[in-house]
Structure 1
Amino acid sequence: MKFVLVAVYYNNKEIPVEEFPMPEIGEEEVLLKVMASGICGSDVLEWYRLPKAPRVLGHEATGVIEQIGKKVVSNLKVGDRVFVSHHVPCNACVYCKKGHHTACETLHNTNYFPGGFSQYIKVPKINVQLGIYKLPDALTFEEGTFIEPLACVARGQRLVNIQKDDTVLIIGSGISGILHVQLAKFKGAKKVIVADINSYRMSIAVKFGADYAFNSDDSLPQKIKALNEGRLADRVIVCTGATSAVTLSTACIEKGGTILFFAVPEPSVKIPLPLNQFWRNEITIQTSYGAAPNDLEEALAVLATKKLDVKNMITHRLPLREAQEGFRLMTNNGESLKIIIEPNNPNL
C-alpha cells in the first residue's frame, strides 16, 4: 500500500505530519498532486475548527492532475495545472436558484479528500464536474491559491455593490483585508481606508494600495470625515472577528451606506446594534459567506489580468512538514501575511 503525508489539525498548536493511505479514485473522480495550498484566516479560528477536529485542513489547493477516472467526461487531462474548489453547490435547490449558492446544503457537504494540506487529494465526481478550473499559463501554483480567497472577497463586494465614487473603509488588514483593498481599487473606488491595531499590517495595507491607514480607535470617524469632505464611509467592510470592530463599523458608516460583515465574532458573542440609527439613516447590514462558481470565475479572470499583486503578499513558503510553523505564524499576527504550504516542492 502506498502512503502520502498529510498535516492533521488537532488544534492551532498541534498539527503533526502523519501518513495516510494514498487516496484511490473511482471511475468518475480525479487524483490531484498538490503543489500549493494557502493557510486561510478561517483555518486558525479554533471556535470554527475544533468541533470537527482532528481533520486535514486546506481549501485553497492548486496542483497537477495525476490520474483521471475512466468515466470522467471533460476536457481535463493528466498533467493539467488546475485549481480545485473544495465546496460546490448543486445549482438546483431553491437557494441556488435565488443566487444564494453558499447557503446550498450540497455546497456545505462537499469537499475533496483528505484536504489541501496533503501530498495528494481525491476530487469527488461533483467537484470534478463543477469545481475544477485550469490555471492560465501565466499564473503560478502559488498565485492560484488566491483564487478561492479572492472569490470570497469578490462575492462580498458584489453584494454591497461598491461604486466608483465610494469611500470604502476596511477594518482589519489581514489576508482578506488586503485583498479587499486591492479589489476595491481595481473596481475604481474613490478612496480606500484601512483601520487596524497592528502597525505592520497598516504599512502593508498602504503598500498594496490603501489610500490611508489608521488605528482602529474612537477617533476614526473624525479622521474619515476630515479627508472625505465631512462624510463617513459609504461602505464599511469588517474583516476581523473582534467585537470592537463591530461597534466601530456602526460609527463609521455614512447615511445610506452598507456595512459588510465579511468576518464575525464567535457564536457566543452577542452584540447590540443601533437599529434606530440604521432605520433613521437607511443603513444596510450585509453578510457574505464563501464563494460560488461565478465568484471563482471572476477571481480567476481578475488574477489573470495581473493587476492585483498577490505574489508579493506571500511572506512564507513552507514544506508540509512545517505546517505547524505556518499556523504559529498565522496566529501570532507578526510580520507575516500569506503563508503557503507546498507539499510536493522538492526545493523546500
Structure 2
Amino acid sequence: FILPEEVSYEEGTFAEPLACTLLGQRKAGLQPGHSVLVIGSGISGLLHIQLARALGAGSIFAVDISEYRLKIARQAGADCAIHAKENVPDYLRKNNNGRLADIVIVCTGATPAVQQAFNTVDRGGTILFFAPSEPNVATPMNLWDLWRNCNSVIMSYAGPPDDTARSIELIRAGRVKVKELITHRLGLAETALGFKMVADAKESIKVIIEPHK
C-alpha cells in the first residue's frame, strides 16, 4: 500500500492493527447506538474505542487495571473508564440505562478478563475475543448461559487487504486519530529500551523507533 501524502509514516504503522480492528468490529456486528465495553486499554483496545466512536457506537466503556491507560482511554473517546477491581456489571447497569453491554471486546489474554466478558454482555449481545490467552490455558464457558441469553462468541485476528485500505482512509480523514496514541519516539540505539517499555506497559502506549536518530 502507498500512503497518501496526508498520512505520515508514523501514522502508517497503525494501518495493519486498525485493519484488524475493522474486521473484528464487522464480525461483531457493531451498529450505531450499540453500547460497547472494551476490556484492556492497550493499543488494540484504544483503537477499538476510537473506531467504535467513529462508527457511531452509543456509550463506550473501557476497563483496565492501569490508571494510566484508563486516562488514555478517556482521551481516546471512552465515555467511562472503569478499574477492573470495581464491580463492572453493576457499574454498567447504573450508567447504561439498567443494561449490560451490547458488545464486549476483549483485548487482553488475562484469564479474569475472559470471565469479566461473560459477566458483562447483555442478553442477545456479542463477545469478541480480540486477544488470546496462553495456548495452555483452559477457558471455561457456561454454554447453558450463553444459549439461554442468546449470546454470540466470536474470534478475530487478521486484517484483510480491503480493511487495510479502509484503515488508511480512516486515518487520512482524521476519523481515527492514531498520532495521539504515540507516546514515545526513540532512536535505533534505544530499540531495546523501546521493547522494555512496551513489555512493562506502565506509561507507554505506542513506541516508535526512528532509525535516522
TM bucket, shorter chain? over 0.9
Distance apart, 1:320 and its partner CA = 2.1
Distance of 2:157 and 2:2 partners within structure 1? 24
Match of 2:80 among 212, 233, 236: 212
What's the secondary structure of 1:278's corresponding residue?
helix
Match of 1:315 among 183, 192, 197: 183
Q: Map Cα deviations across residues 133-181 of structure 1 (whole Å, 9 max, x no partner).
A: 1111111110111101101111100110111111000000000110000
Q: Which residue of 1 aligns with 2:18?
A: 150
Change (3 A) 1:227 1:315: same
Match of 1:180 among 33, 43, 48: 48
1:115-134 aligned at under 5 Å gives the runs 133-134=1-2
Give the letter aligned to residue 298 of structure 1: R
**Equivalent residues, number:** 213
Confirm or deny that 1:293 pairs with 2:128: no
What's the secondary structure of 2:38's corresponding residue?
strand
Q: Which residue of 1 aligns with 2:141?
A: 273
Q: Percent identity?
A: 46
1:250-261 aligned at under 5 Å gives the runs 250-261=118-129
Distance apart, 1:322 and its partner CA = 1.4
1:218-229 aligned at under 5 Å gives the runs 219-229=87-97
Structure with more contact order per residue of length (Cα contacts < 8 Å, sep ≥ 6)? 2
Contact 1:218 1:248 in 2 (8 A): no
Distance apart, 1:216 and its partner CA = 1.3
Q: Which residue of 2 aligns with 1:160?
A: 28
Q: Which residue of 2 aligns with 1:306?
A: 174
Q: Which residue of 1 aligns with 2:130?
A: 262
Distance apart, 1:238 and its partner CA = 0.2
Distance of 2:33 and 2:142 partners within structure 1? 26
What's the secondary structure of 2:114's corresponding residue?
helix
Distance of 1:297 and 1:155 partners within structure 2? 12
> Gaps spanning 5+ residues in structure 1: where?
1-132
Distance of 1:161 and 1:275 partners within structure 2? 21
What's the secondary structure of 1:286's corresponding residue?
strand
Q: Map Cα deviations across residues 105-128 of structure 1 (whole Å, 9 max, x no partner).
A: xxxxxxxxxxxxxxxxxxxxxxxx
What's the secondary structure of 1:255's corresponding residue?
strand
Q: Which residue of 2 aligns with 1:239?
A: 107
Distance apart, 1:341 and its partner CA = 1.4
Distance apart, 1:321 and its partner CA = 2.0
Distance apart, 1:261 and its partner CA = 0.3
What's the secondary structure of 2:109's corresponding residue?
coil
Larger radius of gyration: 1
Q: What is the TM-score with the length of structure 2 in the denominator?
A: 0.98
Distance apart, 1:218 and its partner CA = 5.6
Q: Which residue of 2 aligns with 1:171?
A: 39
Q: What is the TM-score with the length of structure 1 in the denominator?
A: 0.60
Give the letter aligned to residue 197 of structure 2: L
Match of 1:195 among 63, 68, 72: 63
Give the letter aligned to residue 109 of structure 2: G
Normalized per residue, the structure richer in helix is 2
Distance apart, 1:319 and its partner CA = 2.0
Q: Which residue of 2 aligns with 1:26?
A: none
1:315-334 aligned at under 5 Å gives the runs 315-334=183-202
Give the letter aligned to residue 243 of structure 1: T
Distance of 2:86 and 2:59 partners within structure 1? 20
> Gaps spanning 5+ residues in structure 2: where?
none
- Which runs of 4 or more aligned residues in structure 1 lie more than 4 Å from their structure 2 counterparts after TM superposition? none
What's the secondary structure of 1:134's corresponding residue?
coil
1:35-54 aligned at under 5 Å gives the runs none
